[in-house]
Amino acid sequence: MKLIILRGNLKEALQSLERAVTENNNLPILKNILLKADSRLTLIGTNLEIAVTYITAGKITEEGSITIPFTPFYSIINNSSSERINLATSGNTLVVKTDNYEAKIQGIGAEEFPIIPKIEDQKDILEMDSDILSEAIGQVMHAAQVSAAKPELNSILFDFQLGLLKLVATDGFRLAEKTLLNNSFSTTFSKGVRALIPLKTISEVVRIFPKGKRVVIRLDEHQISFSSDGSELISRLIDGTYPDYTAIIPKNIATELTVARDELINAVKLVSNFSGRTSDVKMRLKEGTNALEVFAANQLLGENNYLIPVKRKKGNGLNETAFNWRYLLDGIRPMPSTEITIGLTSETKPAVIKPVDDDSLFYIVMPIQA
């Protein structure tokens, strides 16, 4: 193998592979990435749970392949000041040269690298803009949870139905659902499909695929892939049955308040400085006013409160209700509207938070019981 490549192109490729490579593994080959040169340079990294493939341009003068340790190679490219990088193999050694630098990295033969799986059904796809996909993921993924006991909660539910796609996440204490209608994507699927995508995988999708790209999604019974312009991420799916989350969605809202999103975020952040061991802040309608009071008290620190004007109110008054302030912020921050509604049935039932004039997204959070 012999080629010349621009440092920027190679660095971008290595950044995409970074989290697919594992250093803490008993298999040395998984610390390596595969470099394969033919008409273009292909780089592949895998930890056996996910695999990332990145194809980039270079001036190939001799075809070949090798696997090399990711960490030292990435450090060399990241810290190099030269724009042109020369790569060449000599047996199982990769020679890296610039105008004033040379390194020889001991590798392993390409035949030792794990076989990267492929999606069985390459015909059926779902395609959308990376901006839409990343925004939808960002609006729900905070509600998921890393859990060894309940792996299905360590995932995003990918629920495609004819005409719409739902992304759902929950950890048992909060839940977020985003619905994309068919004007947001194109598809060749003729029937509905459901899949549990690992949280680490979905985080990588947001990181790897930049704005302004078209992302193609394929899946079969055990795997899902995301690809765009020479980049592909393929991941195992989580086996299991997703909880029937529709059962916890409140059917009747007793009180619905509309407030400014940014002001509620500021109120929760300020008041949380006095929250207790359960990270609780409380809400209630200020008596005799049209204001939402957000407050917290701590026996050791003191107390504070913040009044937010209520722009619209429906239903009954709001009794004192306590929430985990971190959970509140996780749900409110990704909402795109300048105003949000808070819907409550009682101080012991979950609250439903939605952006105003946008029925595609909602967030449910359980109150803290006294």
What residues are paired with 281 via a beta bridge? 323
* Calpha distance 131→364 (Å, rounded): 24
What single-letter amino acid sits at 277?
R
Neighbours of 141 (CB within 10 A): 22
What are the tokens at 307? 């009044």
DSSP three-state, residue 196: strand
What are the tokens at 241? 């049955």
Asked if residue 67 lies in contact with residue 116, where contact means CB atoms within 8 angstroms, the answer is: no
Angle between helices 261-271 and 325-332 (to 10 degrees): 160
> In 3D, which of 124, 131, 195, 125 has the Cα closest to residue 159?
195
> In 3D, which of 274, 262, 258, 266 has the Cα closest to residue 322?
274
pLDDT at 289: 78
* String of DSSP letters for 307-335: EEE-SEEEES----EEEEHHHHHHHHTT-
> In 3D, which of 130, 194, 204 has the Cα closest to residue 157?
194
> In 3D, which of 136, 233, 230, 228 has the Cα closest to residue 184?
136
pLDDT at 290: 87
> In 3D, which of 370, 318, 308, 315 has the Cα closest to residue 346?
318
Average pLDDT for the chain:
93
* String of DSSP letters for 32-92: EEEEEESSSEEEEEE-SSEEEEEEE--EEEE-EEEEEEHHHHHHHHHH---SEEEEEEETT
What are the tokens at 297? 């008290």
What residues are paired with 100 via a beta bridge? none
pLDDT at 208: 94
Element (H or E) spanning 6, and its range? strand 2-6
Domains in the chain (CATH in brackets) are 2-112 (3.10.150.10), 126-245 (3.10.150.10), 249-365 (3.10.150.10)
Q: Is the pTM of this model over 0.75?
A: yes
Please give the chain's pLDDT, 370 residues, in tens.
999 999 999 999 999 999 999 877 778 899 999 999 999 999 999 999 999 999 999 999 999 999 999 999 999 999 999 999 999 999 999 999 999 999 999 999 999 999 999 998 788 999 999 999 999 999 999 999 877 678 888 999 999 999 999 999 999 899 999 999 999 999 999 999 999 999 999 999 999 998 899 999 999 999 999 999 889 999 999 998 998 998 888 888 889 999 999 999 999 999 999 998 888 999 998 777 789 999 999 888 899 999 999 999 988 777 789 999 999 999 999 999 999 999 988 888 899 999 999 999 999 999 998 6
pLDDT at 370: 63
Asked if residue 341 lies in contact with residue 258, where contact means CB atoms within 8 angstroms, the answer is: yes
